[in-house]
Amino acid sequence: MNLKKLTYKDIYRECQYDNAFYKGENYYLKNAVRNLKNGTGTYQALVKGQSDYEAGVNYNNEYEITGFKCSCPAYEAYPGPCKHLVALLFSIRNSTKDEGNGTPAENSTVSQVKETLPETEINKTNRFIDSFEQLYVKQQETYHEREPLEVEYVMNLQSTFSERFSGSIDIELKVGPRRLYIVKDIPELLRAVEEDEAIKFSKLFTYHPSDYYFKKEDIEIFRLMSRIIEMKHGASDSLSFSYRRRVVAPQRSFTIPPSYAVEFLSLLQHRTVIVEDGFSSRNAIELTEAAPVLQFEVEEDGERSGIYRMTWTGADLAHYFGKKYGLLYMQGTFYQLKGPQLEAFDAIFFQMVLEEPAELLLDQSQLETFASVVLPRLNELGEVSLSHSIRKNIQMSPLVPMLYLDYKEGRVTAEVTFQYGDVKMSPFQPSTSEGDQLIVRDMEKEYYLLSFIEDIPFKFNGNELFLDEMEQILDFAAEDVPRLSELFHVYATPELRNIVHQPAERPAVKVETDEKLNLLEVAFEVDGIPEEELNSVIQSLLANKKYYRLSSGAYLHLENDEFKGMKQLLENLDVSAKDASSRSRHPLYRAFQLEEMSEVQLKKDRAFKKLVERLTDPEELDFPIPSHLENTLRDYQKRGFQWLMSLSYYGFGGILADDMGLGKTLQTIAYLHAAKENGTAEDPALIICPSSVVYNWQKEIERFAPNLTSAVISGPSAEREEILNSAEDCDVWITSYPLIRRDVDHYKTKTFSTMVLDEAQYVKNQGTLTAKAVRMIHSVKSFALSGTPIENSLDELHSIFSIVQPGLFKNRQVYKHMDENRIAKRVKPFVLRRMKQDVLAELPDKIESVEYTHLTGNQKAVYLGQLQMLQSEASEAIQSDTLQENRMKILAGLTRLRQICCHPGMFLDDYKGGSGKLERLMEYLEEARDSGKRIVLFSQFTQMLSIMKERLAEAGWDYFYLDGATPGKERVTLADRFNEGEKNLFLVSLKAGGTGLNLTGGDTVILFDSWWNPAVEEQAADRVYRFGQKRVVQVTKMITTGTIEEKIHKLQEKKRDLLDRVIQPGETMISSLGKEDIEDLLDLKYADSSGKQ
């Protein structure tokens, strides 16, 4: 075989086994051949499989192959080239084509291609052609007819003989085209079939896959047997057959394990099976879930009076393999036994079958218990034949359970009676049958009913059940009697029934709305209880009393569902026990907490219903939309406008928490315009936002509400003061969070019609100067805009609501003790959140992926040195309990590790070792540019952006650049130029450009490094994936594998769910790093347990 003229068919003919050929070709097509070298008389390469193997092909001066070599185990075990050598031959063939040494036709085609295509494209096309050439080779195989093989399965059954040991179901195989040959080594046959190898049975018959084939039904069984062998010997799919052949001993017989028995037998039902059961030989089996039909007989002993005999006809034909198998075999059929049926048969088998003869003797005194306990179970397993004399004395009447209750002199007595026909019996007294009559009792139901009686703390004096403690009596009358009434026929005296007062109707809450005062009037009504006594009932309810004694002497059960609902409602309204009353007034925003209560009956007036409808279903357009925005606002934005207007109408505030890019700014501007037009906004509105977007707000107002005048309060102190003095007549004031802190004295003396907090997470920490300054500002109503109202903890939501809707939560301490579900219900009317996928059908999906990169050798050395130093420092801080004092130092060390993952040159001036991530980035950028993509590249490190700029300049890239030093007006200009199609790359500092920018001109986002908070990364990506985007957006996050970046990514995933549970799906968060987080990030737990770093 000549390497210069190597063809597809040449490689195929050289292979001894088809499997090696096809797997080798697959390796080649997947680019598994690396570092192909042509030395003197030898081609060598590294082939990447389950491991890396060195493969080589030797040739002479005429390029004829003289030998092969490979470091894999299969090469030594089997003749011919292994799959790694096949992959190498395909690579050699491809390389000789590129060198122009193929056939003339190949040379002419390739030379033409080389003039216009790069080498990578030539290789790709060659592999494509090879994959189609394989179809012809496979088709050639079908020209030679193969003969099917018959398989006979010989089954040997071994019944269990002890409750401690299972029986067994063993299989032997016979195989052949016509005459059948015993398979002496089943694992070896399975290996040969899977690997398409030959196996010799005798001098007259050798199985070879080119001559014979097994039917698909047999192949399915063989695969199951292989799976069982792998499980038995602890082998995984990754282990080669050559390894398994060494660890699996030859075996002629195959035992079907209990856990695979049903699956195995179901496959065998349709094959030739010879069953050797010790009685006869059968050539087929059946598997069924139907109950077996066993034959039992109960009759009088012919020789002894009063003695009875139970026999099982055909017991000697039963094969039972124990509970683990759960199978009974009789006369060609396997019965699947489950649950009580299995338990019953197991008892019968070991009590009767293992004894000789298979019978059971009982006397007259045992007969009634036998009829009640055993006969029902026997009927589930087959047919029971009773002698005439026994049958005529059996009474089969249904069970009627009865319970008699009385209350006298502070004592409750109870009598349980089970009645069958005219016969009554007590379960607590011995029963006596009259004459020869046999009562078949429903023992299962009797035990079930008695389990409820046993749960009650009855005392028993040998004659009756009784209760004599008042608390137990009240619990029994209020809780147990209603439950027992569903199980028994209960006969209770009036004295017992009147202990606990049962209102004829459910407690009700009457609610009236006073819109002028913005108040709700709430009144409680309970049937049979006057209003003056109801105050005391409510106070007892809130004091967690279980019962309240009414003036009539009866008790009120305060822990039933109706009163629990009343209590929950009072707690939701923040009513304390000392202030409790049957009538009370509450702020209007409490209406939604009442509406959520399904446990009590609400009697609502029309104004209450209207209030709830307006805010929970803003589809109804109560408020006119500004005419010039009618065609601009999308439907969901119109609903958001209605929601804002409804909140404002009732004097409420709220959080517009729409996903990034859905137009929170536009909806707010529409509201501000409408408020000004309808005269409800006499005072100016105040917008507080991040510094980077103050001019963006002004620009958007000029665009969508040109009738509104606005003033941006920014610049030096003197300039701001001048603007403040001249802005009195402006409709909208716009300033930033940093400046509101400095200028709060100018704002706190004024009243604003509306305060808007854009990116409200800036006030998420209640104790910061910014949050305190904002709370000092007086506004008629306030709205927060934030796609991430929770980033780290629920405290942030409380901080925002303390500004936009004060009083919604009683205080911070009460809020901290509320569970998430309760918080979610309370904030629901005041939070509007829509996700892109929910409201923008025309917006393309965002495709997110992670690109893993590796450290270079020099980069890794720097990283490990820094990691070991930081591990030592952090471990010492944790062990000495000084983590808090060293937190900033440790966080700085973690940041340094992240910088090394990007590029050590960020802080090492003389570093020349390169960066794996930067190199992959340059490749990725070239790929994206070649595909016509427009890229927005984010990094949080400006030093890294500087390094990128140098590399981009060397590669001839033209790009836009933005960081924290870019002036606000220039930011908008750069974004507009990019969106209009100028340049294909935009470098952005993550913190400077993560919010307030519209970059819908891009379609590819690259997050070069990880930020602690994934919400910041998502905000950055949403600069591109937002309203106005017309293309699919690809977001790629670059992570250096095996480093702190990968651990940060896992930590983010671990802590993403808090906002989902409280607001609506989709948000993410990451809490501030604690001790366990630092230990996980630095592998300190592993280091402590192993003693290694």
pLDDT per residue as tens digits for the range 194-230: 888 888 888 888 888 888 999 999 999 999 999 999 8
Assess whether 537 and 567 both reside in one domain: yes
Strand partners, 38: 43
- Checking if the pLDDT of 1060 tops 60, the result is no
Q: What is the mean pLDDT of residues 510-526?
A: 74
Quote the CA–CA distance of 495 and 493 in Å, as a whole number.
5
Residue with tokens 């704002």: 747
Strand partners, 399: 420
Strand segments (E) across 560-699:
583-587, 601-604, 654-656, 685-689
Residue 56 lies inside a defined structural domain of this protein: yes
In this predicted structure, what is the pLDDT of residue 258? 94
What pLDDT digit, counting tens, does each position of 140-149 carry? 544 446 889 9
Assess contact for 1003 and 1023: CB atoms under 8 A.
no
SS3 940: coil
Structure tokens at 489: 């026929």
**Region of poorest pLDDT, from 64-78, 575-589, 727-741, 977-991:** 575-589
**Region of poorest pLDDT, from 310-314, 827-831, 930-934:** 930-934
pLDDT band at 113 (very low <50, low <70, confident <90, very high): very low
pLDDT band at 1081 (very low <50, low <70, confident <90, very high): confident
Residue 502 lies inside a defined structural domain of this protein: no
**Amino acid found at 570:** L
Assess whether 339 and 381 both reside in one domain: yes
Assess contact for 563 and 557: CB atoms under 8 A.
yes
- Checking if the pLDDT of 69 tops 80, the result is yes
Assess whether 921 and 1069 both reside in one domain: yes
Cis amide leading into 357 (omega within 30): yes
What pLDDT digit, counting tens, does each position of 329-343 carry? 988 999 999 988 898
Residue 494 lies inside a defined structural domain of this protein: no
User: For 36-65, what is the HEC assignment?
Assistant: EEEECCEEEEEEECCCEEEEEEEECCCCEE
Residue 503 lies inside a defined structural domain of this protein: no
CA atoms in the 13 A half-sphere facing the CB of 133: 15
Residue 561 lies inside a defined structural domain of this protein: yes
Residues 869-892 as b/e (b if ≥16 CB within 10 A, e otherwise) read: ebbeebbebbeeeebeebeeebee
**Region of poorest pLDDT, from 424-438, 463-477, 526-540, 686-700:** 424-438
Assess whether 262 and 314 both reside in one domain: no
pLDDT band at 242 (very low <50, low <70, confident <90, very high): very low
Q: Which of 123, 141, 159 is the last residue of a domain?
A: 141
SS3 474: helix
**Residue 337 gets which letter from DSSP?**
-
Quote the CA–CA distance of 150 and 214 in Å, as a whole number.
7
**Region of poorest pLDDT, from 270-274, 358-362, 993-997:** 993-997
**Residue 626 gets which letter from DSSP?**
P
What is the domain range of residue 679?
A: 618-839
Strand segments (E) across 49-106:
52-59, 65-70
Residue 500 lies inside a defined structural domain of this protein: no
In this predicted structure, what is the pLDDT of residue 1065? 40
Assess contact for 289 and 266: CB atoms under 8 A.
no
**Region of poorest pLDDT, from 222-226, 435-439, 659-663:** 435-439
Quote the CA–CA distance of 1070 and 1068 in Å, as a whole number.
7
In this predicted structure, what is the pLDDT of residue 131? 65
What pLDDT digit, counting tens, does each position of 716-758 carry? 999 999 999 999 889 999 999 999 999 999 999 999 999 999 9
Assess whether 335 and 416 both reside in one domain: no
Instruction: DSSP for 519-540, please give it.
Output: EEEEEEE-TT--HHHHHHHHHH
In this predicted structure, what is the pLDDT of residue 116? 56
**Region of poorest pLDDT, from 152-161, 792-801, 1025-1034:** 1025-1034
Assess whether 279 and 301 both reside in one domain: no
Residue 926 parent element (H or E): helix 916-930
Residues 603-616 as b/e (b if ≥16 CB within 10 A, e otherwise) read: ebeebbeebbebbe
Number of structural domains in the chain: 7
**Closest C-alpha to 210, from 136, 149, 141:** 141
pLDDT band at 235 (very low <50, low <70, confident <90, very high): very low
In this predicted structure, what is the pLDDT of residue 99? 56
SS3 500: strand
Assess whether 857 and 1005 both reside in one domain: yes
Could you tell me which residues come within 8 angstroms of residue 1082 by beta carbon, excluding any fewer than 6 positions away? 867, 870, 871, 874, 875, 1044
**Amino acid found at 142:** T
Cis amide leading into 624 (omega within 30): no
Assess contact for 711 and 685: CB atoms under 8 A.
no
In this predicted structure, what is the pLDDT of residue 979? 92
Assess contact for 405 and 412: CB atoms under 8 A.
yes
**Amino acid found at 310:** M
Q: Which of 346, 363, 394 is the last residue of a domain?
A: 394
Q: What is the mean pLDDT of residues 632-636?
A: 88
Quote the CA–CA distance of 760 and 788 in Å, as a whole number.
8
Residue with tokens 């065998």: 268
Answer with the residue of higher pLDDT: 110 or 602.
602
In this predicted structure, what is the pLDDT of residue 280? 65
**Closest C-alpha to 1043, from 885, 845, 943, 902:** 902
Instruction: DSSP for 989-1049, please give it.
Output: EHHHHSSS---TT--EEEE-S--S-HHHHHHHHTTTSSTT--S-EEEEEEEETTSHHHHHH
Quote the CA–CA distance of 397 and 78 in Å, as a whole number.
76
- Checking if the pLDDT of 874 tops 90, the result is no
- Checking if the pLDDT of 601 tops 80, the result is no
Q: What is the mean pLDDT of residues 699-720?
A: 91
- Checking if the pLDDT of 24 tops 90, the result is no
Q: Which of 330, 363, 394 is the last residue of a domain?
A: 394
Q: What is the mean pLDDT of residues 768-777?
A: 94
Answer with the residue of higher pLDDT: 929 or 77.
929
Assess whether 851 and 967 both reside in one domain: yes
Quote the CA–CA distance of 894 and 1080 in Å, as a whole number.
12
Assess whether 820 and 911 both reside in one domain: no
SS3 670: helix
Could you tell me which residues come within 8 angstroms of residue 807 by beta carbon, excluding any fewer than 6 positions away? 587, 589
SS3 911: coil
Residue with tokens 């390497």: 3
pLDDT band at 328 (very low <50, low <70, confident <90, very high): very high
**Cα first-last separation, the chain:** 54
- Checking if the pLDDT of 950 tops 50, the result is yes
| Inter-helix orientation angle 887-902/857-879, to 10° | 170
Could you tell me which residues come within 8 angstroms of residue 1068 by beta carbon, excluding any fewer than 6 positions away? 788, 1014, 1015, 1018, 1052, 1056, 1059
Assess whether 607 and 648 both reside in one domain: no
Q: What is the mean pLDDT of residues 467-496?
A: 91
Assess whether 623 and 607 both reside in one domain: no
Separation of CA 179 from chain center: 55
Strand partners, 501: 556
pLDDT band at 57 (very low <50, low <70, confident <90, very high): very high
Assess contact for 195 and 351: CB atoms under 8 A.
no
Answer with the residue of higher pLDDT: 782 or 1089.
782
Q: What angle do CA 715, 719, 724 make, to 5 degrees?
A: 105
CATH of residue 917: 3.40.50.300
The sign one gets for the Cα dihedral 302, 303, 309, 313 is negative
Assess whether 431 and 518 both reside in one domain: no
In this predicted structure, what is the pLDDT of residue 634? 86
What pLDDT digit, counting tens, does each position of 152-174 carry? 999 999 998 888 888 999 999 99
The rounded mean pLDDT for the chain is 83
- Checking if the pLDDT of 1090 tops 70, the result is no
CA atoms in the 13 A half-sphere facing the CB of 66: 9
In this predicted structure, what is the pLDDT of residue 936? 95
The sign one gets for the Cα dihedral 586, 592, 595, 600 is negative
What pLDDT digit, counting tens, does each position of 664-675 carry? 999 999 999 999
Assess contact for 98 and 119: CB atoms under 8 A.
yes
SS3 1040: strand
Assess contact for 754 and 781: CB atoms under 8 A.
yes
Q: What angle do CA 743, 749, 753 make, to 5 degrees?
A: 100
In this predicted structure, what is the pLDDT of residue 784? 95
Q: How far is CA 582 from CA 58, 518, 539, 577, 626, in A?
A: 100, 20, 9, 12, 46
- Checking if the pLDDT of 326 tops 70, the result is yes
In this predicted structure, what is the pLDDT of residue 55? 93
**Amino acid found at 625:** I
Assess contact for 195 and 82: CB atoms under 8 A.
no
Residue 810 lies inside a defined structural domain of this protein: yes
In this predicted structure, what is the pLDDT of residue 114? 40
Quote the CA–CA distance of 1002 and 1031 in Å, as a whole number.
9
Q: What is the mean pLDDT of residues 113-117?
A: 51
Residue 389 lies inside a defined structural domain of this protein: yes
Instruction: Give the helix, strand, coil percentages of the chain, each rounded to 5.
Output: 45, 20, 35
Q: What is the mean pLDDT of residues 364-373?
A: 80
φ, ψ (nearest 5 deg) of residue 685: -95, 150
Quote the CA–CA distance of 425 and 441 in Å, as a whole number.
10
